[in-house]
Amino acid sequence: MSAIKNKLPEVVSNVSKVIIGKKDVTEKILIALLSNGHVLIEDVPGVGKTTLVNAVAKSIGCSFKRIQFTPDLVPSDITGLTVYNMKKGEFEYKEGPIVSNIILADEINRSSPKTQSSLLEAMQERQITVDGSTYMLPKPFMVLATQNPIEYEGTFPLPEAQLDRFTLRISMGYPNFSEEKKILMTYKEEDPLSKLQAVASEEDIAVMQQEVEKVFVDDSIQDYIIQIVQLTRNHSDIYLGCSPRASLALFNASRALAYIRGREYVIPDDVKELVYATLAHRLIIKSEARIQGKEENSVLTEIVKSVRVPVVKINA
C-alpha cells in the first residue's frame, strides 16, 4: 500500500478542529467513502451533522452541495433539468446540486417518496437520467443524508429500497461535559470551519479507494459475513432480513476499516465492529418482538454471538 493512506489520520485530525470528540463518527464516514458507500446520519438537531459533513468535504478537497429536503422539493430540483436555449436553438442540460462529490441530503425524510427516489440511481449507479439522457456523476461521490429520529410529524419514512442503499447508519450523540466546554471555547470568537484547509485531494481518495479493493479477505471471514447476514433472514424476531447488498456492504466496509487501521487484511473484529452500523437499518423487527423490548441491535447481538468466530492465520 502507498504512503497516501497516511493522510487518513490527518483528515480525522483536521475534522477534529471543527467537530469535537467525534473521531469514531468521522472514521465511519471515511469508511463509507473509501468503500464507495453512503451514510445515513440519524440524530437530533444541533449536534453538528451538517458541520461534520462540510468539514469532511473541505478536508479532502472535494466539492460539497447541501440539498434541503422539504415537502415541496421535486426531483428536478435535485437532478437538474433540460431547458431550451433560444440562442443556440437546442435543448441543453442544466445540472442540479446532485452533480458534486459530497452531497448532504438534509432532513431527507421531509420530502415525498417520489423526491427521495430521485437519489436511488445516483447512489447505486453513480449516474442520473434526465429526459432520457444519462449523465455520469463526479468521482468520488457520496451521499450523506440526515434525519431526526424523534420528530415524525410531516415526514415520510424512508422506504426499504432507499435504506438498503446506505452503507452505514450512524449517530453522533451529545457531547460530554468536557467536550461541550471545548466546543464553547472553540466557537467563542469565530467558526473554525471557515478556516479549515484541505489535507487530501480527490486524487488521493481515488488511490485509497483502489487500495481498499486490494485488502485481503480470507474465505473464512467471507463465510462469517454471509452467516451473520443469512441468520437475519430466518430469525424468529425479524420480519424482514438483510439482502445480499448488505453482505457486500459489510464486506467492503470491513476492508475499508482494516485499511484505516493500517492492515492489508480483514480480521473478525473488523466485521463485528461494523455489524450494527451496516445491518441494523436494513432490518424490520416483528411488532410482537418490539413489544417485548427487542430492538435491531439487541437481535443482532444474539446473531453475532451465535456464529462461530473464525480463526485466521496470516502469514507474515
pLDDT digits 0-9 by tens, 208-255: 999 999 999 999 999 999 999 999 999 999 999 999 999 999 999 999
Rg (CA), the chain: 20
d(CA 192, CA 126): 32
Q: Which three cell numbers stand for residue 119?
A: 437519489
Kindly report whether the peptide bond that precedes residue 140 is cis, defined as omega within 30 degrees of 0.
yes
d(CA 242, CA 166): 13
How confident is the model at residue 194, as a pLDDT?
Answer: 87
pLDDT tier, 315 (very low <50, low <70, confident <90, very high otherwise): low
**What Å distances lie between residue 159 and 31, 114, 149, 168, CA to CA?**
24, 11, 15, 16
**Residue percentage of the chain with pLDDT more than 70:** 96
Which stretches of 188-243 are DSSP H helices? 202-212, 219-231
pLDDT tier, 314 (very low <50, low <70, confident <90, very high otherwise): low
Q: Which residues contact 36 (CB under 8 A, 6 or more apart)?
A: 140, 209, 252
- Cell 487484511 belongs to 265
How confident is the model at residue 89, as a pLDDT?
Answer: 82
The tens digit of pLDDT for each residue in 288-310 reads: 999 999 999 999 999 999 999 99
pLDDT tier, 106 (very low <50, low <70, confident <90, very high otherwise): very high
Q: Which of 215, 237, 274 is nearest to 29 (CA)?
A: 274
Q: In the beta sheet, which residues pair with residue 196?
A: none
Of 53-57, 128-132, 275-279, the one with minimum mean pLDDT is 128-132
Q: Which of 149, 180, 162 is nearest to 296 (CA)?
A: 149
- Planar angle of CA 147, 150, 156, nearest 5 degrees: 55
pLDDT of residue 316 exceeding 70, the answer is: no
pLDDT of residue 104 exceeding 90, the answer is: yes
Backbone phi and psi for residue 246, each to the nearest 5 degrees, phi listed first: -65, -40
Q: In the beta sheet, which residues pair with residue 94?
A: 81
d(CA 310, CA 223): 9
Which domains are seen in the chain, by residue range?
A: 3-205 (3.40.50.300), 215-306 (1.10.8.80)
CA 59, 61, 62, 67 dihedral sign is positive
Q: Are 79 and 94 in contact (CB under 8 A)?
A: no
**What Å distances lie between residue 315 and 7, 216, 218, 265, 310, CA to CA?**
27, 12, 12, 11, 16
CA 5, 222, 38, 136 dihedral sign is positive
